Structure 1
Amino acid sequence: MVTEPIYSWLYVQQGVDAVKAAIGRRMEAEAACSLLEHVALYQLHHNGGRLQMSELVELLDVSPSGVTRLIERLVKRGWVVREQPADNRRLVIAVLTPEGEEACVGTTARVYRETLAEEFTELLSERDLADLRRIGRKLMEGHGRWDVKRFAPAESSEQ
């Protein structure tokens, strides 16, 4: 028996999956970049251009080995470099390069914004968007995942 909470979860999950798939397809086609690669660049850009690999694991919700592979792809493209402090060789820091910055604020950002508008924003009312933001934050807080680092500095005032 499917209950109302299960239906609610399935609708949200499948709606988000549909939007992410549409954004991912368009990112690959127009920016030659995966959605996850764009999100990693975005996180680096909005967090001072450098993050520890462990921070990327948390922010991207990807396994440590997945983040290692992701950063390797970005290094090969010249968008990121890895740094290791001489006094702590276990620490690895991903650093956004000028080329990565250009990709993040240029093509990938444009494609992301346009697709998000077409596949998400234009389908919802202002009230829908406000409700989703409120509910999303409530869920993140309930799971101990609320962190202003996940969002652009302009949006971080909602502490």
Structure 2
Amino acid sequence: MTDEQSWGRVVALHSRVEQELAKALQRKHGLGLSEYRALSHLTVAEGGCLRMQDLAGAIGLNQSSVSRMVARLEEAGLTVRDLCENDRRGVYSLITEDGRERQAKAEPTYQDTLRGALDKAAADPELAEAVAAMRHA
């Protein structure tokens, strides 16, 4: 198998899993996939806050997209923008208690959906090798 074919299978696996995760999180928790990932990163960040540019890098969004996403999270009361006490140079996103609760409720859905999506993909002969490589890395 060529690198291009292998990469195509990884991309197909990624797309399939991301779609299932996005549907489950939206349907059960009213969260987009990027929103869930942002809350997850903020939950484990020191002080529950990250600079906007660091949050963007952590979830793979550009600055403009992360600003719009953070605005949605703020509107829902899940985060607030603030200046972190340790570093006044940039704008930070700070998770709220409601944000922590929503992330905690959504985490089992994320984990179960991820496991199920990967199990389903592992049964597909085109994707089985990619799943096995990822699970045993």
What's the TM-score bracket when you normalise by the shorter of the two chains?
Answer: 0.7 to 0.9
What is the distance in 1 between the residues matched to 2:27 and 2:136? 32
Structure 1 stretches of 4+ moved >4 Å: 85-90, 121-124, 127-130
Letter paired with 1:39: R
Partner Cα distance (1:51, 1:112) in 2: 22
Shift of 1:73: 0.3
Across the aligned residues of Structure 1 and Structure 2, the Cα RMSD in angstroms comes to 2.5
For residues 31-88 of structure 1, what are the alpha-carbon distances to aligned partners after superposition, in whole Å with 9 as ceiling and x for unaligned?
1111110000001012131100010121111110111001000000000000025997
Point out where structure 1 has 5 or more consecutive residues left out of the alignment: 136-159
| 1:96 maps onto 2:98 in alignment | no
Q: Which residue of 2 aligns with 1:72?
A: 71
Note the residue ranges of structure 2 that are not aligned, 5 or more in a row: 123-128
The 1:128/1:6 distance shift into structure 2, 3 A limit, reads: closer
Which amino acid in the other structure matches residue 117 of structure 1? Answer: R
Paired residue for 1:109, among 107, 110, 116? 107
Query: What SS class does the counterpart of residue 82 from structure 1 fall into?
Result: strand
Partner of 1:131: 133
Q: Are positions 1:84 and 2:83 aligned together?
A: yes
3-state secondary structure, aligned to 2:90: coil
Give the direction of change, closer, same or farther, for the CA distance of 1:5–1:114 in structure 2 (3 Å limit).
same
Structure 1 residues 109-159: Cα deviation after superposition (integer angstroms, max 9, x where no partner): 1211111121115655xx976731675xxxxxxxxxxxxxxxxxxxxxxxx
Determine the structure 2 residue equivalent to 1:50.
49
- TM-score by length of structure 1 reads 0.72
Aligned residues: 131
Q: Secondary structure at the match of 2:61?
A: coil
Q: TM-score, normalised by structure 2?
A: 0.83
Kindly state the Cα deviation for residue 26 of structure 1 after the two structures are TM-superposed: 1.2
Structure 2 CA distance for aligned equivalents of residues 39 and 115 of structure 1:
14
- Measure, in 1, the Cα distance between the counterparts of 2:63 and 2:20: 26
**The structure with more strand, counted as a fraction of residues:** 2
Q: Answer 1 or 2: higher relative contact order, Cα 8 Å, separation at least 6.
A: 2
Q: Which amino acid aligns with 2:52?
A: M
Identity of aligned residues (%): 25
Letter of the aligned partner of 1:98 in structure 2? Answer: E
